[in-house]
Amino acid sequence: MKSRPGTSILVASLFLGMASGALPHEPAAEGCSVLSRNLAHELTIMRGAAVSASAVSRNGGRTPQLQLDTYYAVSLAPQDTLHFAAKPGRASKASSLRGGVFRFVVPAPGRYRISISSRHWIDVVDAANAIDSVDHFGPGCELVHKVVEFDLPSGRPLTLQLSGHDDAMVGLAITASPKESQ
């Protein structure tokens, strides 16, 4: 078998690049390249710079306001220090639970996604009523552990509750669901 001129040089340079770590970090290395759902928008957001947000305890002040299409690095508080708008939808077996309570508003009624890098339970609450999720899936890649979709009303404050796991810091984004999944 004949090789083409330059092939051995290309192969050698690839091996050298891999050995030295000179190749760029690609999404495939994060496990996000083969997904069964369209997460292009969420992955673009979550690969960008994160905005810090911190959960506050019962006596800690105002509930943080989150915006759509923003990647947050969320610092969570011990769950027993939080005041939830509604009882979390799932109990946990973890010993040192952490959680967070946040507010957000959507501009139009429709389906929205909460994408998160951890295993926390996600509840969305309208006033004191938990909104049932309509879909969820776990791409299980480095940036997005799971995505939960909700049909949400517009124009009023909604509460996002994270509960039931022990991670102290999580990545989070709220986005509109692509049209094809509605």
Q: Say which CATH number the domain at 91 has.
A: 2.60.120.380
Q: Of 163, 68, 140, 54, give the one whose Cα is nearest residue 107.
A: 68
Evaluate whether residue 17 is within a structural domain.
no
Contact between 170 and 177 under an 8 Å Cβ cutoff? The reply is: no
77 occurs within a structural domain: yes
Instruction: Please answer whether residues 111 and 154 qualify as being in contact, where contact means their C-beta atoms are separated by less than 8 angstroms.
Output: no
Give domain status of residue 104, yes or no.
yes
User: pTM of the full predicted structure?
Assistant: 0.78
Tokens of 85: 């708008």
pLDDT band at 93 (very low <50, low <70, confident <90, very high): low
Residue 25 in any domain: the answer is: no
Residue 77's nearest CA partner among 148, 144, 172, 170 is 170
49: domain range? 31-181
Lowest mean pLDDT: which of 2-6, 18-22, 114-118?
18-22
Q: 24 lies in a domain?
A: no
Number of folded domains that form the chain: 1
The answer to whether position 8 is within a domain reads: no
CB 71 within 8 A of CB 173: yes
Partnered with residue 16 across adjacent β-strands are: none
Q: Which two structure tokens, joined as six digits, stand for 26? A: 């690609």
Tokens describing residue 112: 């929205």
Instruction: Pick the range with the lowest mean pLDDT from 25-34, 42-51, 118-127.
Output: 25-34
Contact 98, 170 (CB under 8 A): no
pLDDT of residue 179: 72
Domain membership flag for residue 144: yes
CA distance 116 to 73: 10
Q: Is 122 within 8 Å of 173 (Cβ atoms)?
A: no
